[in-house]
Amino acid sequence: MTTATTILRQHLIDPEICIRCNTCEETCPVDAISHDSRNYVVDAAKCKLCYNCISPCPTGAIDSWRNMPADQAYPLAEQLLWDNLPAQIALDHGTEVGAGDTATELPDEVERIAAASTAGQGGTAPPPWSAAHPYVNLYGIHAPAVATVSGNFCLTAEDASSDIRHIVLDFGSASFPVLEGQTIGILPPGLDAAGRPHHVRLYSVASPRDGERPKYNNLSLTVKRVTEDHEGKAARGVGSNYLCDLKKGDKVNVVGPYGTSFLMPNHAGSNLLMICTGTGSAPMRAMTERRRRKFAGGESLGKQMLFFGARSPGELPYFGPLTKLPKEFIDINFGFSRVPGEPKRYVQDLLRERGVDVARLLRDENTYVFLCGLKGMEKGVEEAFTELCRANGLDWSALRPQMLQQGRYHVETY
């Protein structure tokens, strides 16, 4: 029998990125961070993994981690000599993550859900080159962040067949930095039928990085109450019903954030081509809201086209606010599938109709495509891209892999 080795999630600082601003050393409540004339370093024996230093760091150099056998943690003397971080060493099987640590790897179930939702883009794609550095996995299931519900608003019409909600979570003084396009995990309270704690439910953040309300430490989610399964049989979604029933002041256990790929470009002149159905609009709202605030501040931006599919206007989250956005800010195309007396229209139909303008955007290497919503739409959207490209002198089969490799094509479907 082999004895399991305890693995330490060692917190390090990347000397290649660090600008030696001293913010982390000032922030650390246990004096685990020190420096000499060359490097800033973290003492593994003192660091309590409180993450207080993570969000104030301007470069993200502080967000560096290596899994190490506890008795082989990099000593300060060695860190002080580094010009760059050492590679992650291979660990034997039979290792255990130290008690109280969150593993560097995402929780298995988060990995599984994330892999399924991004399968359509052919696996992990790089983020846009100008994306901001995301923080991930700051809170794990053993030590979740506790947020307080500060609002729960119904987004769908009274007579709508679905109940979609805009839920605002306030993190108070806890550090929970997120970027548009990232997801967070919710831990529903209670136990499942087998007597185990419920697994993590992932939701895309619907607000921009500076908060649902600017300068507040809050974020929002767009959640649809699940009342049936994929086959249409009655089924009560544990996570969505828990969230949709929350009242102002309720406490929620939150893990994450997650997501290093589906992130918005930040460079001047970047264009967004966004395609979504239903609650897949959450990351699109986050991105457009980020850019709307810049636009309101007089910043000149690239183009934005939005293709949004829903059953009817009453079932389209954020329908009212979207219709009020200036035309020169965003080009919005709605497709409704269940309006009595009108033909069914899907996002792929809208893409074909706007083929010339979509192709013009695709031709621009500053264009980033984001697709989020029902898995079923992927096939139709791919076919629409193929057709509209062919009709406008482009080859989607060549363009798609190129965009993927350049972090310009992102898919998240469920």
Assess 218 for contact with ligand A2P (CB under 6 A).
no
d(CA 207, CA 193) in angstroms, rounded, equals 34
Task: Name the minimum Å distance from CB 348 to ligand A2P.
Answer: 6
Restricted to residues 255-294, the positions that interact with ligand A2P (CB under 6 A) are: 277-278
Q: Is residue 310 part of the contact set for ligand A2P (CB under 6 A)?
A: yes
Q: Alpha carbon 158 to chain centroid distance?
A: 30
* Closer residue to ligand A2P in complex, CB, 148/386: 386
CA-CA distance, 205 to 23, in Å (whole number)? 27
| Residue 58 CB, nearest approach to ligand A2P (Å) | 39
**In the sheet that 331-336 helps form, which strands lie side by side, from edge to edge?**
331-336, 304-310, 271-277, 367-373, 409-413
Is 162 an interacting residue with respect to ligand A2P (CB under 6 A)? yes
Locate 62 and state its tokens: 């502080």
DSSP string for residues in 40-107:
EEE-TTT-----TTTTT-SSSTT-EEEEEEGGGPPPHHHHTT-SSPPPPPP--TTEEEPTTPPPSSPP
- Give the C-alpha separation, 368 to 381, whole Å: 15
Residue with smaller CB distance to ligand A2P, 100 or 376: 376
> 326 with 301: CB under 8 angstroms?
no
Compute the least distance from the CB of residue 379 to ligand A2P, in Å.
Answer: 7
Number of residues interacting with ligand A2P: please give it, by CB under 6 A.
Answer: 15
CB-nearer residue toward ligand A2P: 9 or 311: 311
Candidate segments 11-19, 38-46, 72-80, 376-384, binder of ligand A2P by CB under 6 A: 376-384
* Interatomic CA distance for residues 333 and 317, integer angstroms: 14
317 sits near ligand A2P (criterion: CB under 6 A): no
Among 141, 380, 382, 406, binds ligand A2P (CB under 6 A): 380
Of 363 and 379, CB closest to ligand A2P: 379
Q: How far from each other are the two terminal CA atoms of the chain, in whole angstroms? A: 42
Interaction residues for ligand A2P, span 28-87 (CB under 6 A): none
* Helix or strand run (H / E) with residue 389: helix 377-391
**CB nearer ligand A2P, residue 140 or residue 280:** 280
CB atoms within 10 A of CB 342: 10
Taking the CA atoms of the chain, what radius of gyration do you get in angstroms? Answer: 23
Residue range at the interface with ligand A2P (CB under 6 A); choices 96-104, 110-118, 168-176, 372-380? 372-380
The only residue of 188, 256, 309, 407 in contact with ligand A2P, by rule CB under 6 A: 309
**Minimum CB–partner distance for residue 372 and ligand A2P (Å):** 12
Stretch touching ligand A2P by CB under 6 A, among 21-29, 83-91, 375-383, 392-400:
375-383
Indicate whether 338 belongs to the interface with ligand A2P (CB under 6 A): yes
Residue 377 lies near ligand A2P (rule: CB under 6 A): yes
Q: 271-277 and 304-310: which strand pairing?
A: parallel
Closest CA to 133 of 276, 21, 12, 264: 264
Q: Which of 311, 354, 400, 408 binds ligand A2P (CB under 6 A)?
A: 311
Of 171 and 396, which has the nearer Cβ to ligand A2P? 396
Please count the other Cβ atoms lying within 10 Å of the Cβ belonging to residue 223. Answer: 29
Each residue 344-363 as x (binds ligand A2P by CB under 6 A) or -, in order, gives --xx----------------
CB of 339 to ligand A2P, least distance (A): 10
- Of the candidates 262, 319, 287, 297, the one whose C-alpha atom is nearest the C-alpha of residue 120 is 262
Please report, as ranges, the residues that interact with ligand A2P according to CB under 6 A: 162, 277-278, 309-311, 315, 337-338, 346-347, 374, 376-377, 380
